[in-house]
A and B are shown apart, each in its own frame.
Chain A
Amino acid sequence: METTVAHLKRGQRGIIKEFTENLLPIKLLELGCLPGNIVELVQVAPLNDPIYINVNGSHIAIRREMALHIALDIIEDNVVI
């Protein structure tokens, strides 16, 4: 299975690769959630959903079902960007 934003652990970061679903809201893209940008998982809501991410300087909350469609490469902790 592909790694997506939904698989990030708190504090972990990744680089967005692609969207596996075409109909993601354009609002998400406008907020800077675009391929190539770095995304960080900031918080997870108490019931494990929604999640709170920081992408491209925008802090946004999205539901897990949507996060599953944003594929990424996880940045390993020891790699400095």
Chain B
Amino acid sequence: MSKQINVALIGNPNTGKTSVFNQLTGLNQKVGNYPGITVEKKEGICKLPRGVKAHILDLPGTYSLNTTSLDESVAVELLLNKNDKDHPDVAIVVSDVENLKRNLLLFTQIKDLKIPTILVINMADRMSRKGITIDIELLEKKLNSKIALVSTRKETGIEKLRELIADYKSLPKTQNVNISVIAPDYFEKLSTTFPKEDVYKLWLVITQDVNFMPLEKTLFKDATSFATKSKSELKRLQQKETILRYQFINGILKETYKVDVNAAKGFRATLDKVLTHKVFGYLIFFLILLTIFQAIYGWSEYPMDLIDGFFASATEWVKNTLPPGVFTNLIAEGILSGIGGIVIFIPQIAFLFLFIALLEETGYMSRVVFLMDRIMRPFGLSGKSVVPLISGTACAIPAVMATRTIENWKERLITILVTPFTTCSARLPVYLIIIALVIPEGSFLGLSYKALTLMSLYLMGFGAAILSAVILNKILKIKSKSFFVVEMPNYKLPLLKNVGYTVLEKTKSFVFGAGKIILAISIILWFLGSNGSSDEFKNAETIVTNRVEQEGFSTSSEIYFDTHQDGLDINNPNASDQQKELEERALAQEIAGYKLEHSYMGHMGKAIEPIVRPLGYDWKIGIAVITSFAAREVFVGTLATIYSVGNDEEETIKNRMAAEVNPRTQKPLFNLASGVSLLLFYAFAMQCMSTLAVVKRETNSWKWPAGQLVFMSLFAYIVALIAYQLLK
């Protein structure tokens, strides 16, 4: 097999680079991370004419080779390092037709590295509407390169591009601009000191803001020590370089590129006026948020129910089909429920990224950043933190993933760290049941106490997020330049194909990235809950059966019967059958509860009782706190198992919880004090392993999720403690 051609795709943001990538590779693409850093690595395979294949690497979007972020330095690194296995045989610079001038800046820089370079002018379908004409032949001659005029929307020009890639050996490697003229003496000295290296390459290494990786550093160790000029002098030279390049570009475009200024220009201006208006701008943004919220919260309920139902019946099927034993239990309750716990998030993630992709494709996202930046700034955040923070109210997992649009690492990290404070939908089941139990009836200004409590919980979530952002902003000593230059791209109709790819890719990266960790923890939790070493655990069936025969059913089962009495019709001939079935179920539930109490998990619950007692909880709630580390909503299910009532029977669980008595005080266990303490604990504690897994994935280190876990849990504990001690 012949060697694949290595192709690097590079270009400004918003040029449709990703569309070109999608067109070239189709579904033959994979997304990963560069080793050791969180920059996304997208690569794919493209079939070329005559049976040749090309390996296409989609480099992070950049305006030039003067790097200011880690993302951009990845691109420069690859272009400079000839030993990298992905070092391109040919580079493709993607430009959009309207901003050709500024895209050519990057083009000339890559040309000057003596890498064969093809220019793609994308969005060719807009030319006539924008009144643009380009003399391609002359432009090719002036730039000493080949050009493909492409429209990814109309799917034209891609064939020509494939031909050009296959034929890359015929591309000239000449430089476009001789940068020595900006400081002749300096560059003269450089080239005599390093006769083997190209001066432009040396210049790039010297001026980088971001440090290179080890290999490049040693290669150019002497060169960096050559940076005798002061930082501001270098900066001035970089300015000169940019001006020089623009002179070259302007000269060329004058002859080859014509715009009829009378062509339609008003659409953008009108839309901008409305979308960034001080009233309508926020109103429209608010309405869009409502829609997104409704989608993540409401619409995804249907697929989530289906998934839930599917995994429930799959578990049932495995239990009934495979021979009973540890292995079957592992599959049914450990692995299947673990996978179910991952898959259940897919609808929410897919919906959020569907909207984010739409907003980004249309160009609206930049307007949101523009609208919100000033408001977020005092908190160490920027306009780009808004969407992640707000989508955190649905689910923190896609929200953390959505922070990728924030270039500034410090702002992004703060956003990732504070997002889990916002009230996600998984907290709702816990909130609802406890509010129903402990918050008294009554109303204030026409609003019921219960509704007010729920609202304060949401507000507290936001408050905690903002407050910790302020603190983090003060204490995090991360050197990352905070500058705010946001391009406001032209409005476009979204390309559905691109939106689809984004949704697919984000979902995949969640399932395979964070999913592994979630599955592992689920299996551990299952093991702890379904295994025990004590005799009570091993003989649970006989002990409970004997007890029921001698003393009758427990209070839990009595409540269970009461709640289900309505369904019983004495005159129904099947009534006794129904009664029997209820009793069988109650017995099974009591056994399950007894087993959980004496499992390792039960021991852990009892072990942490001294810790949670000051918060007003007993060991049973302790167990629920531990298991709900998997996901908050597990809290209700665990209590159901411990109290030996069937799962998913909200009324029964509620009645049973209301009947629970604290053995030390002889008062109801769930009272206002312990209830509020629980609400606050769940409002602030990092009770979600999936979020931790995603944070680990996004920050590439266990340091941040660990810190998050400790800080949030500690904070939650202290707040819950104070609340309980004050109210009790």
Query: In the complex where A45-B276, A46-B281, A52-B370 touch, is A28 in contact with B485 (Cβ < 8 A)?
Result: yes
Residue from the list A23, A58, A63 in contact with B102, Cβ < 8 A? A58
Query: In the complex where A22-B235, A34-B246 touch, is A61 in contact with B486 (Cβ < 8 A)?
Result: yes
Query: In the complex where A46-B282, A63-B484 touch, is A27 in contact with B68 (Cβ < 8 A)?
Result: yes
- B242: chain A residues at CB < 8 Å are 26, 29-30, 34
Q: Which segment, of B27-35, B371-379, B390-398, B454-462, faces chain A?
A: B371-379
- A25: chain B residues at CB < 8 Å are 68, 481, 483, 485
In the complex, which residues 552-578 of chain B have their Cβ closer than 8 Å to any Cβ of chain A? Answer: none
B contact patch SS: helix
- A52: chain B residues at CB < 8 Å are 272, 276, 370, 488
Interface string of A9-46 (1 = CB under 8 A from B): 00000000001001101111111101100000011011
CA–CA, A19 to B240, complex, Å? 13
CB atoms of A60 and B246 under 8 A apart: no
Closest to A28 in B: B485
CB atoms of B489 and A30 under 8 A apart: no
CB atoms of B374 and A57 under 8 A apart: no
CB atoms of B63 and A46 under 8 A apart: no
CA–CA, A34 to B242, complex, Å? 9
User: Closest CB of chain B to A4's CB: distance in Å?
Assistant: 16
Residue from the list A26, A42, A48, A61 in contact with B68, Cβ < 8 A? A26
Residue from the list A27, A57, A66 in contact with B99, Cβ < 8 A? A57
- B268: chain A residues at CB < 8 Å are 59
CA–CA, A15 to B452, complex, Å? 56
CA–CA, A41 to B687, complex, Å? 48
CB atoms of A23 and B235 under 8 A apart: yes
CA–CA, A25 to B242, complex, Å? 12
CB atoms of A60 and B374 under 8 A apart: no
B291 within 8 A of A: no
CA–CA, A47 to B373, complex, Å? 9
B101 within 8 A of A: yes
- B276: chain A residues at CB < 8 Å are 43, 45-46, 52
Query: In the complex where A26-B242, A31-B63 touch, is A59 in contact with B371 (Cβ < 8 A)?
Result: no
Closest to A29 in B: B242
Closest to B238 in A: A26
- B68: chain A residues at CB < 8 Å are 25-27
CB atoms of A62 and B235 under 8 A apart: no
CA–CA, A56 to B245, complex, Å? 14
CA–CA, A66 to B482, complex, Å? 11
The 9 A-B residue pairs whose C-beta atoms are closest, nearest first, are A46-B278, A47-B374, A59-B488, A25-B483, A61-B486, A30-B63, A22-B232, A30-B64, A26-B66
| 17 A-B contacts (beta carbon < 8 Å) | A19-B239, A22-B235, A23-B232, A26-B235, A27-B63, A27-B485, A30-B63, A43-B370, A46-B278, A46-B282, A50-B484, A52-B272, A52-B276, A52-B370, A57-B99, A58-B99, A60-B488
